[in-house]
Amino acid sequence: MALKAYKPTSPARRHTTSPDFAELTKGKKPERKLTVSTSSSGGRNQHGRITTRHRGGGHKQSVRIIDWKRAKDGVGAKVAAIEYDPGRSARIALLHYTDGTKAYILWPVGVNVGDVLMSGENVDIRPGNALPLSSIPLGTVIHSVELKPGAGAQMIRSAGSFGQLMAKEGTMAQIRMPSTEVREVRIDCKATIGQLGNTEHEIVRIGKAGRNRWKGWRPTVRGLAMNPVDHPHGGGEGKSGQGNPHPVSPWGKPTKGYKTRVNKRTTKFIVKRRDKGVR
C-alpha cells in the first residue's frame, strides 16, 4: 500500500494524493448477493427536514453486507479476494467458507488471498481470526470489538485503526482504544486479531472540493460570513470578529472543548479518558 501523487497540471492537482489500490485483487464489481442498493437521504429525516447539514449528491453506491458477528465457529474460510468498499475507509475481504457460504469481513494487515481464517475459542492468534477476549493474550493488537456478546462488532472499525488488550479482571477486559481511552468490555465479547488495512487513509490529501462532492459532502458556509439572523457569528461592518467570541454552532452551542457526552449509563466502563489533543 502506498499513496499515488500526480503531476501539477492544475493548482488542485499539485497537492492531490490518492491510494494506489495495490492491495486490491478484484475488479469493481462486488459479490452481488452480499450487496444492498440504497437511496441517499440528503441529510433529511422522514419528515423531509434537514437533520444533518451539508449532505447531498454524491456518487451512487451499493452497501456491502459485512459479517460483524463471525458466528461460524470452527468453520474454515478461505480469503478469495480483497475489495474496495465505497461505504467505509477500510478495505474488505471476501471469505469462502468450507460449507459453501460467502461473507465479507474487514481486511486486516497481513491477510492475503488464499489464507484460511477461523473464529472460535481455540483458534490461532493470527491476523483475521476472531476470538472471545478471554482467549486472547494480553498485549495483542485487535479490532472489530463487540460491546455485547453476539451483537456484532461495534468498535475499532475504521482504516488503520487498532486497539490493544491491556488487562483482564473477573468478567471484564480492559481495551486501549485508538483514541487512547481505556474502556472495559465483557470478557466473552469477540474481537478480531490484527490492525485494519489501508493505513495511509488519514494522510490522503483531497486536493480539490470536487472529491468531497463525490462523497456526498456539500459546501460549508462559515458563520462569520452569514447575517446575524442566521448565525451568532454573523454581521458586523466588514470582517468583524465581534470581540473574538467563543466559537459556537448556529444554535449557540459551543463547538470546541464543550463536552457533549450524555450516556451516563456506560460511563462506569470508561477506565481512562482519552488524552487531550487526540481526536
CATH class of residue range 3-202: mainly beta
pLDDT at residue 276, rounded to an integer:
76
pLDDT at residue 28, rounded to an integer:
75
pLDDT at residue 13, rounded to an integer:
92
pLDDT at residue 279, rounded to an integer:
62
Low pLDDT (below 50) residues in the chain? none
pLDDT at residue 243, rounded to an integer:
63
Domain boundaries, the chain: 3-202
For residue 110, report the phi and psi dihedrals to the nearest 5 degrees: 100, -5
pLDDT at residue 242, rounded to an integer:
59
